[in-house]
Structure 1
Amino acid sequence: MISRERWQADVVVVGAGVAGLSTAIRLCQRVKSHNEAVESGKLKEEKLPSPTVLVIEKGISPGSHILSGALVDPRSLYALFPDFQEKKPPIEGEVISDPFYFLTSRLAFRLPYVPHLMRSKGCLMTSLSQFTRWLSQQAETLGIHILTGFSGVDFLREGEIIRGVRLGDRGIDKNGNPKSTVVYGEEIEAKVTVLAEGVHGRLTQLALEHLGLGKDRMPQSTVLGIKEIVQLPSSRLKPGTAIHTFGFPHDGNTFGGGFVYWRPENQVAIGLATGLDYKNPLLDPHHLFLQWKSHPLIRKFLSGGKVIEYGAKSIPEGGYFAIPQLVANGLVIVGDSAGLVNAVRLKGIHLAIQSGMDAGDAIFECWKKQSFTQEILHFYPQKFFNGWPGKELYRVRNLHQGFQYHRMMGILNIGLHTVSFGLWPFGKWPIRPEWSSLAPLSKKKPKIKIFSFPSSPLMLDKLTDVFFSGTQHEENQPSHITIKDPNACIEICKREFDCPCTRFCPAQVYEWIEEEKTIRVNFTNCLHCQTCEVKDPLQNIIWRLPEGGGGPRYKNG
């Protein structure tokens, strides 16, 4: 019989990202301001006890698993911290210039006009991993406890009521046997559990499945973002410059785009996003990233530079109709876990902060009443969707779907949206699951252009790039990635799709071994983007959380 230690908390937040920390901060701010108002006589109510708020994070430290562009619409940040500039946040600048380019294989055409909903002027430039570390420090000053290196793997339930979470076991060897250092995952009892795990979170998926929170909603649509930080001998961009591109290297049937952002200390942040609803089973997003870097426009910003950091993450792009039910009894879902991203602006940090604030307000109301039912927690989605975040998401509700048909359809969709002041498109456009979009090679073998890349320190293979992510996993543990039916890889996937997992993974986790006719899983390379779960055409890959503390160690993500 396994003995598990049991901890007590009032609120447990799963994930020390922007949304989770904003939830915890807002709750504690509200309790503090309530008690100060009571003490001053402005409020004729009883003082409230301070809640015990516990934030658990699977990364080795806050921010180590956080990756983004990152341009921050400051609207919600000013609301969370009206004096945030006095708290010395790691803001690197403000977007002053945001040109948009359409790329062919050799040429670049600057757009004379960019629709307002795609502009970035006025956004704050930062490293989201550094910003998250700063946010965790603000949380700790309010008495919030942050535990790093702990994964939340299951719920504590009482019927349909969520009573907390169980943490993952630590110290299990690769054969599933306990080591001498074994610690069986603790159980954390809490009145409210906040899911802020990011896209495709383990507990969020359990909630959607077992509590029916995804009923009658569209499937989530996902984009794979690949990012590098490049150190230059001298800066080639003016401070505050944020360049965006579309077109090459993506064909007309593949959604995506790139960015080049100025950073201080002669650095640039570059990245390419590729929609995972692409059809070509031979497509490799990392290979597209190399093609994009070799384009004359991009190359001129990078010449003489060297890569100092690499990362990859999934971005939820399903939009308004893919957002699940956000609350249940004792449960709240915020940020990327809920798919709260503006699919056209490709921005979600401001929505993550605001969702955390609105969730914190709802939990505060529950704390006052000492009742944590779905009815009271529903104050959160009601406030979120009736406010500016809901209006922003509703306005772009069908715009990503247009790109499922062709790039020109997507552009036309955005154009009609602009001239109709957001009235177009009408209705509810469907989203197809990414795993179903690949076209079998037996029907029509796609053409793949062969590119020869120039010899350059910037043209790195996947394994070299993974080195710059700092990714580490304990090797003597069970693999967190399992192929359910290895025979299906040979009999179906190899024949019909030529093992697309060996290409869509940005970390070379999957490797076809010709001599053994099998797929080798190099789980220690994993960047936790979970592209494999999303894109595998047979849904034959199971991705679970590894031992806490494993994964990337981003510094400037």
Structure 2
Amino acid sequence: MLDRSFMEYDVVIVGAGPAGLSAAIRLKQLAKQHKREVTVCVIEKGAVVGAHNLAGAVLEPRALNELLPDWKNLGAPLITQVKEDRFMFFTKNKAMKLPTPPSMHNGENYVISLGSFCRWLSEQAESLGVEIYAGFAAAEVLYRDGVVYGIATGDTGVSKAGAHTDRYQAGMELHAKQTIFSEGCHGSLTKTLFKKFDLRKGVCAQTYGIGIKELWEVAPEKHQSGLVMHSVGWPLDNQTYGGSFMYHLEGNQVAVGFVVGLDYSNPHLSPFNEFQRFKTHPAIRETFKGGRRIAYGARALSEGGFQSIPKLTFPGGMLVGDTAGFLNVSKIKGIHTAMKSAMVAAEATFDHLSVGVIEPEISDYRARLENSWLWQELRLTRNIRPAFRWGLIAGMAHAAFDTYVLRGRGLWTLRHHADHEMLKDIKKCLPISYPKPDNKITFDRTSSIFLSNIQHDADQPVHLQLRDKSIPIAVNLTKYGAPEQNYCPAGVYEIVRDADGHNPALLINAQNCIHCKTCDIKDPTQNIDWAVPEGGSGPNYPNM
């Protein structure tokens, strides 16, 4: 056993996103209400709270109203209330306004920066006595007799060759009676829990999307505070799920982004380049002409919804938020559901600790969720996303029928498929020609990741590991044309050759990684294993 120092808590929470922080706050609220002492620690791999938080984002304040009813007086950074919704269908040169689906009505909602919101939540948590440690990556789940009893942070000061440098420091163990995993989509520790406890047994496969976002400062005359716009259609073809968002915040800022379902089949497709091409549409380009791009980032998101919710508990711990897949795709929102799931988890955990139950698994967490508005919300929208496997037009027709006629109460539940299984042989797919960036509205990946403020110590072990080093060339390049070069939004993966153009090899530019997890999800042979680098590494989003 490694000789590491340790700290003990009642509850350790992995990840300082909206779910993890909501769980921490609710635990401390209950402890104060019942005059009990509950020690809570939140561990966060980003250099600061909010550094790795990225979303569109429009916040439905339902869960926030329950957690912190006095949020306005507490200074919550909810500044821009939605004033107008637009739902558009794009062809290459035209834009058609469609009726906005009921689930996408945002009249009571706010356009926010998720990073700013999480920093504010962390302040509320710390004021209640929660200990938050940012810049420390949870790298290992700790087990004792098959029960999770905490996590260990990663060692620092280890060279790329695996040797200890002069700044070496062993990781710290954080022991807990219960560990709540809120790592966000496809967490590096959570995926090991799925395997160890078989949490997906009998459950539909999760399906994912990749969301790519830019933050712009636009000319005042082009800014419409509170405007929320979504689109489907061009530049994606009829068989590829995805669409755009454009949200006008305060201060002449506009958040613009594009989401592509990772169940796409053409290996030529590049989500990054589809996003850049989207901005050239006549209905979009004018907004950004003369503007200034401030920030760039990307992250994967769990789109499976109700039928992909796994077993949520195991001895010693539980899953909350996007880690468990609580995003409501039909609303294009997951912050309120992440928060609610975490609040329910906190309530179940507090009761469990209060009665001194010997059984280490809090099995009633799921039953409590099933009695909450969260469960009903996801159940009623369960058939929206999977119907788009029939194509955009058929998917929209089914969504309308399911929403307006059945009201989500159909007797059937459509299923998902694993995204990595969906790529076709490149010889069977049409090439996609993407225009060169103009460096005014459209950009390349190199200039984009510069805006992500990435920090990775060059001399540390590569956190993107290949299970079999022969597969990238023998399979991925030969059959799929090296799709990792296309699906990665940060240029991490590159096929290089010798001076004669022979002997191809995969070069992994790990220093470019923005921690979106797309490679771990989409790789057709599941050969890439994304693990955490040193704590504090990765992007540092100021207000995404």
- TM bracket (short chain): over 0.9
Counterpart check, 1:401 vs 2:386: yes
Which residue is equivalent to 1:29?
29
- Contact conserved, 2:140 with 2:151, CA < 8 A, in 1? yes
Contact 1:169–1:183, Cα closer than 8 Å, also in 2: yes
Cα pair 1:319 1:398 within 8 Å, conserved:
no
Q: Secondary structure at the match of 1:490?
A: helix
Given that 1:70 and 1:126 are in contact with CA atoms closer than 8 Å, whether structure 2 keeps it comes out as yes
Compute the TM-score of the two structures, normalised by the length of structure 2.
0.97
Q: CA deviation at 1:300?
A: 1.4
Contact 1:402 1:410 in 2 (8 A): yes
Change (3 A) 1:423 1:56: closer
Question: Who is 1:222 aligned against?
Answer: 208
Tell me how far apart the structure 2 counterparts of residues 200 and 455 of structure 1 sit (CA, whole Å): 34
Deviations 1:195-250 (A, max 9, x none): 00001112211111101222111111101000000112324132211011110111
Question: Aligned runs of 1:418-437 on 2, under 5 Å?
Answer: 418-423=403-408, 425-437=410-422
Q: Distance in 2 between matches of 1:204 and 1:127?
A: 26
SS of structure 2 residue aligned to 1:153: strand
1:66 aligns with 2:53: yes
- What is aligned with 2:158? 172
Specify the alignment match of 2:536 in structure 1. Answer: 549
Note the residue ranges of structure 2 that are not aligned, 5 or more in a row. Answer: none
Instruction: Report the secondary structure of 2:85's partner residue.
Output: coil
Kept in 2: contact 1:19–1:334 (CA 8 A)? yes
CA distance in 2, matches of 1:33, 1:409: 51
Report the counterpart of residue 460 of structure 2 in structure 1.
477
- 1:463 maps to a residue whose letter is T
Q: Deviations over 1:305-364 (max 9, x none)?
A: 121100000110011111111112220210010000102112110001111111111111
Within-5 A mapping of 1:516-555: 516-555=503-542
Q: Residue 155 of structure 1 aligns to which amino acid in structure 2?
A: V
Question: Which whole-Å deviations, capped at 9, do the CAs of 1:260-288 have from their partners, x for residues lacking one?
Answer: 11121111100000000001010001110
Q: 1:495-537 CA deviation, whole Å, 9 max, x = no partner?
A: 2111000010000000111324111000010010110011111
1:423 is displaced (CA, Å) by: 4.2
Partner SS for 1:100: strand
Partner Cα distance (1:441, 1:177) in 2? 41
- Offset at residue 301 of structure 1 (A): 1.2
Q: Please, which of 446, 452, 469 is the counterpart of residue 430 of structure 2?
A: 446
Q: AA paired with 2:268?
A: L
CA–CA separation in structure 1 for the residues paired with 2:3 and 2:147? 23
Matches within 5 A, 1:56-95: 56-95=43-82
Asked whether the 8 Å contact 1:328–1:373 carries over to 2, the reply is no
Query: 1:107-118 to 2 correspondence within 5 Å?
Result: 107-111=94-98, 113-118=99-104
Decide whether the 8 Å contact of 1:60 with 1:149 is kept in 2: yes
Matched, 1:414 2:399: yes
Task: Work out the number of aligned pairs and report it.
Answer: 540
- Please say if residues 481 and 544 of structure 1, whose CA atoms lie closer than 8 Å, have aligned partners that are also in contact: yes
Task: Tell me the amino acid that sits aligned with residue 18 of structure 1.
Answer: P
Q: SS of 2:298's equivalent?
A: strand
* Matches of 1:483 and 1:387, distance apart in 2: 41
Report if aligned partners of 1:310, 1:469 keep a CA contact under 8 Å in 2: yes
1:51 equivalent in alignment to 2:38? yes
User: CA offsets, 1:392-446, max 9 Å, x none?
Assistant: 000111211111221122112211112324245432322111111001023x132
* 3-state secondary structure, aligned to 1:402: helix
1:366/1:372 contact within 8 Å kept:
no
Taking structure 1 as the reference length, the TM-score comes to: 0.94
Separation of aligned partners in 2, 1:23 and 1:463: 37
- Structure 2 Cα separation of the partners of residues 162 and 2 of structure 1: 17
The amino acid across from 1:397 in the alignment is R
Distance 1:513 1:263, change over 3 A: same
Of 86-95 and 235-244, more deviation after overlay is shown by: 235-244
State which drifts further: 384-393 or 423-432: 423-432
User: Could you tell me whether the CA contact under 8 Å between 1:76 and 1:350 is conserved in 2?
Assistant: yes
Counterpart residue identity of residue 18, structure 2: V
Which deviates more, 406-415 or 23-32? Answer: 406-415
Structure 1 residues not aligned, in runs of 5+: 36-47
- Distance between the aligned counterparts of 2:420 and 2:438, measured in 1? 35
